[in-house]
């Protein structure tokens, strides 16, 4: 993809930026944080229309500049170890903990390089092979005789899948799979993860059971105890490195005890990768079903491509990663879903030095947020941006260039699990389309913050397809 030219200037502490530089437009308001949390889409769209793709706010305190232009996003993504650092709220940083990939800038590249093989290549192919039997089992349990709640159904499948792929625990066997661990039921494990997730966005850093942050910290401690016990349990059996994320890290540690994989890092990576992937994947699947439910002609086109590429009698349980690549319209529908319904912002950085870009000064000490809800709505990047048009992502149209389409962030902190999320979505969709049609039951209501996702009470109607082959 095309990459915009680097055209910004970084000023050292000894340099004074030229006086002719202007600051981004808009005067920050004390209500900005409340307005953003209430409806991030509306906040971004309103200010984009009034001030353009770069504007100042006071979101989360201090001066925070929202950026959506490709040049400003490129500047935001590529400043680590030079002129930016992570700019997340203190509560969020505390919930991540010191063994997250980005908490220590001096160790970030080493840690991320060590973990990356678990989300690409042979291990990604092995993860995808695990999807087929588990997905078939879940789809067989879906009840088409009455409306079903979409979000809980998909969250349950994705949780089972990721606990298997990342931790090696087959929750489909029931709570017996958790025997000997300090959290002994799937329901309790999910509840602790939900409490942990909520704690990331507590506005008050007060460790009390009366606060969201305090409850999140308690859940984090319980989950770390769970991971610690799981690691000890796993060490009692022979390790197969390619089986799951945890086994890969333990095998690497066993091979090289002085490697980056300390017990603390392994515990925290199990905790955080499951936390991040669960919501990333489940939101993508529910958003895709909701979007495509409004465009039955697109479903027909995906099905036609599936038959043309894979053949009518293709057995999906034998589907490989290579066979997914030619399904270009399917890929385009996923990307268009991510464009129109990005769940959150993708990068929050704090400027450690002042930067000038296109005559605009970004001052040291300010925060910068790269917002897909701005970038994805810019007509110069996406023709008729409010319309659902998957074909815009086909090669002949060429929309969705680097720094213009940013569902998974970019730069050194780009999402490690992006390939896993997309591959999981493709396999899920192929199985789904062979088994079911579905009708939406009106417009969905969305939770807007911290992640945009369909509310749990939204229901759809399933219809089992008469001929289910290839399963």
**For 139-159, what is each residue's pLDDT tens digit?**
999 999 999 999 999 999 999
62 — pLDDT class (breaks 50, 70, 90): very high
Is 3 a residue whose pLDDT tops 90? no
Cα separation, 54 vs 24, in Å, equals 6
- State the pLDDT at residue 155: 96
Cα separation, 190 vs 456, in Å, equals 15
**275 against 305, higher pLDDT:** 305
Q: What is the DSSP letter of 164?
A: I
pLDDT digits (tens, 9 = 90+) for 240-282: 777 899 999 999 999 999 888 999 999 999 999 998 889 899 9
- Per-residue pLDDT, averaged over 200-221, amounts to 90
Q: Give strand ranges (E) for 59-197.
A: 64-67, 84-86, 148-149
Q: How many CB atoms lie within 10 A of CB 161?
A: 24
219-233, 237-251, 355-369, 375-389: which has the minimum mean pLDDT? 237-251
- Say what the alpha-carbon torsion angle 194, 200, 201, 206 is, to the nearest 10 degrees: 110
- State the pLDDT at residue 64: 97
- State the pLDDT at residue 99: 82
- State the pLDDT at residue 197: 92
- State the pLDDT at residue 101: 72
Is 222 a residue whose pLDDT tops 50? yes
104 — pLDDT class (breaks 50, 70, 90): low
| Residue spans per domain, the chain | 8-464
103 — pLDDT class (breaks 50, 70, 90): low
Cα dihedral 448, 451, 455, 460 sign: positive
Name the percent of the chain lying above pLDDT 70.
Answer: 96
- Per-residue pLDDT, averaged over 32-59, amounts to 97
- State the pLDDT at residue 109: 76
Rounded alpha-carbon distances, angstroms, from residue 196 to 37, 68, 96: 19, 30, 10
- Per-residue pLDDT, averaged over 128-149, amounts to 93
Non-local (6+) Cβ contacts of 176 within 8 A are none
- Per-residue pLDDT, averaged over 437-465, amounts to 95
- Per-residue pLDDT, averaged over 345-374, amounts to 94
121-125, 177-181, 376-380, 422-426: which has the minimum mean pLDDT? 121-125
**Does residue 192 contact residue 219 with C-beta atoms inside 8 Å?**
yes
- Per-residue pLDDT, averaged over 109-119, amounts to 84
Collapse the DSSP code of 440 into the 3-class scheme (helix H, G, I; strand E, B; otherwise coil) and give the result: strand
List phi, psi (to 5°) of 139: -65, -35
Non-local (6+) Cβ contacts of 110 within 8 A are 260
Is 1 a residue whose pLDDT tops 80? no
Is 42 a residue whose pLDDT tops 90? yes
List phi, psi (to 5°) of 275: -60, -50
**349 against 7, higher pLDDT:** 349
Could you give the residue ranges of the DSSP H alpha helices within 200-295? 212-234, 245-255, 263-293
Highest mean pLDDT among 118-122, 131-135, 293-297, 446-450: 293-297
- State the pLDDT at residue 469: 47
Collapse the DSSP code of 354 into the 3-class scheme (helix H, G, I; strand E, B; otherwise coil) and give the result: strand
- State the pLDDT at residue 471: 41
**Does residue 394 contact residue 329 with C-beta atoms inside 8 Å?**
yes
Strands 8-11 vs 354-357: parallel, antiparallel or unpaired: antiparallel
Question: What mean pLDDT is reported for the chain?
Answer: 92
Peptide bond into 450 cis (omega under 30): yes
- State the pLDDT at residue 105: 67
- State the pLDDT at residue 466: 72
Is 52 a residue whose pLDDT tops 60? yes
Cα separation, 181 vs 194, in Å, equals 19
- State the pLDDT at residue 238: 84
**412 against 14, higher pLDDT:** 14
- State the pLDDT at residue 157: 97
7 — pLDDT class (breaks 50, 70, 90): confident
303 — pLDDT class (breaks 50, 70, 90): very high
372 — pLDDT class (breaks 50, 70, 90): very high
CATH number for region 8-464: 1.10.630.10
- State the pLDDT at residue 376: 98
pTM, two decimals, is 0.94
112 — pLDDT class (breaks 50, 70, 90): confident
Residue 415 annotated as binding site: yes
130-133: list long-range contacts, CB under 8 Å, 24+ apart.
Answer: 130/161, 130/164, 130/165, 131/161, 131/424, 131/427, 131/428, 132/316, 132/317, 132/319, 132/427, 132/431, 133/317
Is 394 a residue whose pLDDT tops 60? yes
290 — pLDDT class (breaks 50, 70, 90): very high
- State the pLDDT at residue 305: 96
Q: Give the bridge partners for 57, in sequence order.
A: 64
Angle at the Cα of 415 from the Cα atoms of 195 and 417, rounded to 5 degrees: 75
- State the pLDDT at residue 374: 98
- Per-residue pLDDT, averaged over 305-324, amounts to 85
Residue 403: left (phi > 0), alpha (psi -120 to 50), or beta? left
- Per-residue pLDDT, averaged over 217-245, amounts to 92
Q: How many CB atoms lie within 10 A of CB 197?
A: 18
Nearest to 166 by CA among 424, 341, 391: 424
The order of strands in the sheet holding 436-440 is 148-149, 459-464, 436-440
**322 against 147, higher pLDDT:** 147
């Amino acid at each position: 993809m095309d990459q915009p030219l680097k055209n910004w200037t970084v000023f050292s502490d000894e340099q004074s930026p030229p006086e002719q530089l202007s600051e981004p437009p808009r005067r920050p308001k004390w209500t900005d944080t409340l307005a953003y949390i209430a409806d991030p889409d509306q906040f971004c769209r309103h200010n984009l229309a009034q001030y353009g793709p770069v504007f100042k706010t006071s979101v989360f305190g201090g001066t925070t500049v929202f950026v959506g232009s490709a040049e400003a996003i490129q500047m935001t993504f590529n400043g680590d170890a030079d002129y930016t650092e992570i700019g997340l709220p203190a509560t969020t940083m505390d919930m991540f903990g010191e063994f997250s990939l980005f908490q220590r800038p001096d160790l970030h590249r080493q840690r991320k390089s060590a973990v990356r093989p678990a989300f690409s290549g042979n291990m990604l192919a092995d993860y995808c092979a695990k999807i087929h039997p588990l997905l078939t089992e879940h789809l067989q349990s879906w009840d088409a005789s009455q409306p079903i709640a979409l979000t809980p159904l998909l969250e349950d499948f994705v949780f089972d899948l990721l606990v298997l792929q990342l931790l090696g625990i087959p929750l489909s066997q029931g709570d017996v799979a958790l025997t000997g661990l300090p959290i002994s039921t799937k329901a309790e494990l999910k509840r602790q993860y939900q409490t942990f997730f909520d704690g990331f966005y507590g506005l008050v850093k007060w460790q009390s059971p009366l606060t969201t942050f305090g409850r999140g910290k308690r859940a984090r401690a319980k989950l770390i105890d769970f991971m610690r016990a799981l690691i000890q349990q796993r060490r009692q059996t022979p390790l197969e490195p390619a089986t799951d994320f945890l086994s890969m890290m333990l095998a690497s540690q066993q091979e090289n005890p002085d490697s980056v994989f300390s017990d603390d890092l392994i515990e925290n990576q199990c905790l955080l990768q499951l936390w991040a992937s669960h919501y990333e994947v489940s939101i993508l699947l529910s958003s895709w079903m909701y979007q495509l439910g409004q465009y039955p002609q697109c479903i027909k086109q995906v099905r036609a491509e599936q038959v043309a590429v894979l053949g009518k009698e293709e057995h999906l349980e034998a589907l490989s990663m290579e066979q997914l690549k030619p399904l270009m319209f399917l890929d385009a529908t996923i990307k268009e879903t991510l464009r129109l319904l990005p769940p959150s912002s993708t990068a929050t950085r704090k400027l450690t030095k002042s930067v000038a870009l296109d005559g605009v000064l970004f001052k040291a000490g300010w925060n910068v947020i790269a917002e897909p809800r701005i970038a994805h709505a810019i007509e110069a990047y996406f023709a008729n941006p409010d319309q659902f048009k998957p074909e815009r992502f086909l090669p002949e149209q060429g929309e969705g260039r680097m720094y213009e389409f940013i569902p998974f962030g970019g730069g050194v902190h780009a999402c490690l699990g992006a390939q896993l999320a997309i591959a999981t979505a493709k396999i899920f969709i192929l199985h789904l389309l062979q088994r079911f049609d579905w009708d939406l039951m009106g417009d969905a209501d969305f939770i807007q913050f911290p992640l945009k996702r369909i509310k749990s009470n939204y229901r759809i109607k399933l219809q089992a397809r008469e001929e289910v082959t290839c399963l």
